Amino acid sequence: MLKLLKNAKVFSPRYLGKKDILVVGDKIGLIDDEISVNITALNVEVYDFSNRIIVPGFIDAHVHITGGGGEGGYSTRTPEIYLGELIKAGITTVVGCLGTDGITRSLENLYAKAKALDEEGITAYIYTGSYAVPPLTFTGDITKDIVIIDKVIGVGEIAISDHRSTQPSIEELKKIVSRARLGGLISGKAGVVNFHVGSGENGIDYLLEIIRKTEIPVTHLYPTHMNRNKSLIDQGIEFAKYGGFFDLTTSSSKEEGIDKTISYLGYCFENKVLDKVTLTSDGQGSLPVFNQKGDFVGLKIGEVSSLFETVKKAVERGLLPFEEALKTVTINPSKVLKLNSKGEIGINKDADIVILNEDLSIDSVIAKGNIVMFEKNLVRKGTFES
């Protein structure tokens, strides 16, 4: 099937100008100033996207696709994600993970949900593991999980510097990262370890020490929730100077959370490390609040919609140029996750495309070459979605 997308302003995320794009099957086949096809001879759908902006489909590298939570007991286990919520958020590639609760949540369920999202129309991967060390695995071995299970691209979210972590030693973390690296090498995947960083004062000290004291390349260390506080952002900037990617969470339990994240994005841009920064939503993850004594006092649920909302607000408030902000949910995650066919509008790249209105609202979404949302109406929904 051919689709000709005409007259949009295209950000690949680099601005290409007003271009026509020919989608061939599930790939981008051609990008040019003017593409005309013989409509009768070819079975082609033509879309006039004048006054629209085309960007790569968004990659959300940290979503609790089978639900998470549970820190307040059984009734605080959060619900799974549905396809429509991801599409409305412009997310065409998602990486699913387990969190605090690695007991009632299973990796098999996570795998099945990722396969379901694939069948329903987007691209889904997973991390093996959960918060705990030693990590939860499918096969008993991280390296084997990465090598023989198609959807496993790394390990996560492994908790450090958090009262809910298993207080792993640096030696335990070295073993996890080195085994993930072996899996990545043998399978050609990223073999990345997504670290959940809590508010503990040691922050990512262990990760910085692993970079300094071992042969393990920094590319396998991928800390998230680095916008929790200023000292973590400063550690993130130091980490990026070593070539590491670090991740800011867009869901927040506080109203002003998004303002803080946006100011940190501006700060990273000023410190010239934005090319090493990604945003993820922590969608369906719990956003629990604990008091000083560590007692649970309540929780909210992460929203995948916060991912692009954060990009949009950062641009609207003039903190970041659009191209720069866009990188944090397209080309940057595709690099750290080694998803080379994702994150860019380019020849032979996957036809994962978001069409924005000039006010940066999400208008239409194409995933794997199929229209899944058109002019804000969902064309594809999850099997049981109303």
- Binding footprint of ligand FWO on the chain (CB under 6 A): 64, 68-69, 99-101, 196, 225, 249, 252-253, 282, 285-288
> Of 101, 145, 247, 282, which one is the catalytic site residue?
282
Closest distance to ligand FWO from the beta carbon of 100 (Å): 4
Cα separations in angstroms, 266 against 242, 314, 377? 20, 8, 33
Q: How far is the CB of 63 from ligand FWO (least distance, A)?
A: 10
Cβ atoms of 53 and 358 closer than 8 Å: yes
Contacted by 13, from Zn ion, ligand FWO, none: CB < 5 to 8 Å by type: none
106 binds, among ligand FWO, Zn ion, none (CB under 5 to 8 A by kind): none
Tell me the closest approach of the beta carbon of residue 189 to Zn ion, in angstroms.
Answer: 21
- Is residue 64 part of the contact set for Zn ion (CB under 5 A)? no
- State which residue has the least CB distance to Zn ion: 196
Whether residue 343 contacts residue 330, with contact meaning beta carbons closer than 8 Å, is answered with: yes
Residue 58 or 131: which CB sits closer to ligand FWO?
Answer: 131
381-382-385 Cα angle (round to 5): 85
- Which tokens is 171 given? 């030696």
Q: Which is nearer to Zn ion, 160 or 356 (CB)?
A: 160
Burial of 189 (0-12, 13-18, 19+ CB in 10 A): buried
Q: Nearer to ligand FWO by C-beta: 189 or 225?
A: 225
Please tell me the distance from the alpha carbon of residue 315 to that of residue 256, in angstroms, as a whole number.
Answer: 17
Pick 196 or 220: Cβ nearer Zn ion: 196
* Torsion sign, CA atoms 249, 250, 252, 258: positive
Please say if 282 is a catalytic residue: yes
Question: Which among 10, 93, 34, 83 has a CA at the least distance from the CA of 350?
Answer: 93
Residues numbered 149 to 208 that lie near Zn ion (CB under 5 A) are: 157, 196
Q: Which does 52 bind (CB under 5 to 8 A by kind): ligand FWO, Zn ion, none?
A: none
CA angle, residues 111, 126, 134, in degrees to nearest 5: 95
CB–CB of 327/275 below 8 Å? yes
Q: How far is the CB of 90 from Zn ion (least distance, A)?
A: 22
Give me the least distance between CB of 185 and ligand FWO, in Å please.
28
∠ Cα 57 267 311 (to 5°): 25
**Nearer to ligand FWO (CB atom), residue 295 or residue 375:** 295
- Tell me which of Zn ion, ligand FWO, none is bound by residue 249, counting a contact when its beta carbon lies within the kind-specific cut-off of 5 to 8 angstroms: ligand FWO
Rounded distance between C-alpha atoms, residue 299 and residue 278, angstroms: 24
SS3 298: strand
Q: Which residue shows structure tokens 């680099």?
A: 14
Minimal distance, residue 99 CB to ligand FWO, in Å: 2
Residue 31 binds what, of Zn ion, ligand FWO, none (CB under 5 to 8 Å, by partner type)? none
Interface contacts to Zn ion, rule CB under 5 A? 157, 196
Catalytic residue positions, numbered: 282
